[in-house]
Structure 1
Amino acid sequence: MPASQHPSPALRDCVYGQAVGDALGVPYEFRARGTFECTGMVRHGSHNQPAGTWSDDTSMALATCDSIRATGRVDVRDMRERFARWYREGAYTVSGLFDIGGTTADALSSGRGRAGERDNGNGSLMRILPLAFAGATGDEARAVSAITHAHRTSCEACVRMLRVARRLIAGEGPRDVAGSLVGVPASQIRSGGFVLDTERAALWCLANTSSYAECVLAAVNLGDDTDTTAAVAGGLAGIVYGMGSIPAAWLEALRGKDVIEGCLF
C-alpha cells in the first residue's frame, strides 16, 4: 500500500475521533468516577496541560500511522523505532511527552515487549486502530502489540479491536458489534488500565450512546483511565459518526492538528 497524498477520509475520522476523546480525558485521568463531570474541553487538571492536549494514546497511534505512511506497509521494526523517538525525543507530541505507561517504558528501553501476566495494560490497544485501514492481518496486529505488550491477552484484544473497527468501517452499527453490552449498567463497567477493561468500556460507550459527543463524554465520565478509554471509544465513534459530528468547539480547541495531518496515510 503506497503512501498517498490524499489520506483516507475514514482514517481521518478515526484519528481525529481518537485525538479529541483523548484530549477530553487528559485533565481527568486517575480521578474516580462520580467525583467530576466532563462536559467539554478544559485546561490543567491531572497533567496540568492546556485545553485540547492529547496524550501518549494519540502520540503512539500517530507514530503507527506515520510508519505506515512512510513504509507503505506494517513494518514492526520501523514502528518500534518511531515509538522510541516519541519516548526519547518527544516526537509525535504537541509539546513533549508527559505520560507513559510502565510496561511501554520498559519495553522501549529494553527493545523487547513485556509478556508477563501483569503486563496487560492498555498501551497497545490504544494505538491499534490505524491498522484497520492498512490491510493488516491478525498476525501483524499481534506483532504490533508485542512491540510493547506481548502477552497473549493484549495481543488478542488488539486483534478483536481490529475486527470491530473493520466491521464499523464496512457499515455495521454499534449495536451490531457490541450489542451484548446494550443496557448494561455503568456499575458493571470497569475503566482502569487493564486491557480487557478498556476494550469492554470503549465498546460499552459506543453501544449505549447515539452520537460522537455522547460516546466520548460517557467514556471520560467513567473515570480512572479517562484519556485511554475515551481515545479508544472516540476512535470507534469517529468511524461511525464521522469527523463532521465532532463538536466544532472541540475541534477548534484541539492542539497539534498539523502533527496529525502529517502522519495520515
Structure 2
Amino acid sequence: MILRECNHPAPPTHESGVPKALRAVVYGAAVGDALGVPYECMERGTFECEGMVGGGAHGMPEGTFSDDTSLLLATCDSIGACGGIDVDDMRNRFRAWLYEGAYTADGRAFGVGNATAAALRQGFGCDGERSNGNGSLMRIAPLALTDATDNEVRAVSAITHAHPISTESCVFFVRVLRDVLQGKGLEGAIRHNIPGDERFAFLEGIRGLPRDEIRSTGYVLDTLGAALWCVCNTGNYEECVTEAVNLGGDSDTTACVAGALAAALYGYDSIPRQWLDRLRGKEVIERCLA
C-alpha cells in the first residue's frame, strides 16, 4: 500500500477551519456511499433505504464504502503527502487501490468501473464520448480544499476520465463546493459556476425539476444533476443522502457526491452518529486525514 510517500515538500499548515471542513466532506461522501452500496443498480421505487444495511449485488457487510470513497481517499492521501496536486502520484495510488486493495475496508477493490480500470492499465484517461461515466466526479471533492487551478482539476479528472464533459463536471463541482464552504448560497453557487457548454444548462433549474425527471445513472451529468437536486430539495444531510440512494440506479455514487456537498453545507456534526458508528474502514479514512 502506498501511503504518505512523495518527493514533494510537506503540505503547508492549513487554516483552523479547513481540517474540519475536509473531515466533513470526506465522511459525508463515505457515509453516503456506504448507504447506497446495497441498493446499487436497483430500480427506483422497488426499495426504500432507511439506514445502514448490508447485502446487495456485492454482498458486502453493512457500512462498507465502495470504489467511490476509496479513490477519494487516494486523492486526499496524495494531496496530503505531496503538498499539492501530483497527477503521477495519484495515478500510482489509484493503481495501488485497483491491484493491491489499498484504501479499502477489506483489502480488495470492488465495483470497479470499466473506464477507470482501462485508464489505469494504459496509463492515461479515456476521452471518448461514451467514456463519460462518473468515475472522476465521485473522487474529486478533496480538491475543493486546495488551491488547485481549473486546469489541475481537469488533469486529475483526466487520470481516468479525459472527455470535456467529465473534466468540466469536475471543475464545476469543485467550484460549487468551494463556494458552499465559504458560506455562499448553494443555488447561487450553482448558477455562478455553470460551464458555457449547453449540455450543462439544465443545472440552472435543477431544484425545480420533478423527481421523475431526475436520472440517476452512471453517466456523469446524470450523477451531477441528481446529487445537486437532492441537496437543493432536502433540508439536512440525512434527508439528502437517503433521497439520493432512493433514486436508485447508481445509488452509491449519487449518494457519495450528494453526501460530500451536503456535509459541506451542513457540517460534520450533521452526519448521523449511528451511521458514522457503523461505517467500516474508519481507520483507513483517518490515516488519509492525518
- TM-score band by shorter chain is over 0.9
Number of matched residues?
265
Match of 1:109 in 2: 121
Moved over 6 A (4+): none
**2:76–2:142: 8 Å Cα contact kept in structure 1?**
yes
Deviations 1:125-179 (A, max 9, x none): 0000100001111000000000000111100110000111011011123333347
Match of 1:88 in 2: 99
Match of 1:173 in 2: 185
Cα deviation, residue 4, structure 1: 5.2
Match of 1:15 in 2: 26
Counterpart residue identity of residue 38, structure 2? P
How many Å separate the matches in 2 of 1:143 and 1:98? 25
Counterpart residue identity of residue 99, structure 1? G
TM-score, normalised on structure 1?
Answer: 0.97
User: RMSD of aligned C-alpha atoms?
Assistant: 1.5
Match of 1:186 in 2: 211
How many Å separate the matches in 2 of 1:121 and 1:131? 19
Q: Which runs of 5+ in 1 are unaligned?
A: none
Cα deviation, residue 184, structure 1: 1.6
What secondary structure, in the 3-state scheme, does the structure 2 residue paired with 1:50 have? Answer: coil
**1:12–1:243: 8 Å Cα contact kept in structure 2?**
yes
Cα deviation, residue 3, structure 1: 5.7
Q: Which runs of structure 2 are paired with 1:27-176 in the superposition (5 Å)?
A: 27-95=38-106, 96-176=108-188
How many Å separate the matches in 1 of 2:89 and 2:226? 31
What secondary structure, in the 3-state scheme, does the structure 1 residue paired with 2:265 have? Answer: helix
Cα deviation, residue 261, structure 1: 1.0
How many Å separate the matches in 2 of 1:199 and 1:163? 13
Counterpart residue identity of residue 226, structure 2? A
Match of 1:211 in 2: 236
Deviations 1:161-206 (A, max 9, x none): 0111011011123333347222321111100000011111110001
Deviations 1:60-101 (A, max 9, x none): 000000000100010000000000000000000000211110
Bigger relative CO (Cα 8 Å, ≥ 6 apart): 1
How many Å separate the matches in 1 of 2:247 and 2:69? 19
**2:65–2:105: 8 Å Cα contact kept in structure 1?**
yes
Counterpart residue identity of residue 128, structure 1? I
Deviations 1:202-247 (A, max 9, x none): 1000100000000000100000000000000000011011111111
Percent pairwise identity: 59
Counterpart residue identity of residue 82, structure 1? R
Q: Which runs of 5+ in 2 are unaligned?
A: 1-9, 191-203
**1:13–1:242: 8 Å Cα contact kept in structure 2?**
yes
Match of 1:243 in 2: 268
221-230 or 183-192, which deviates more = 183-192
How many Å separate the matches in 2 of 1:54 and 1:17? 12
How many Å separate the matches in 1 of 2:278 and 2:212? 31
What secondary structure, in the 3-state scheme, does the structure 2 residue paired with 1:229 have? Answer: helix
Match of 2:278 in 1: 253
**1:22–1:228: 8 Å Cα contact kept in structure 2?**
yes
Cα 1:65–1:3 shift into 2, 3 Å: farther
How many Å separate the matches in 1 of 2:236 and 2:136? 26
How many Å separate the matches in 1 of 2:118 and 2:279? 30
TM-score, normalised on structure 2?
Answer: 0.89
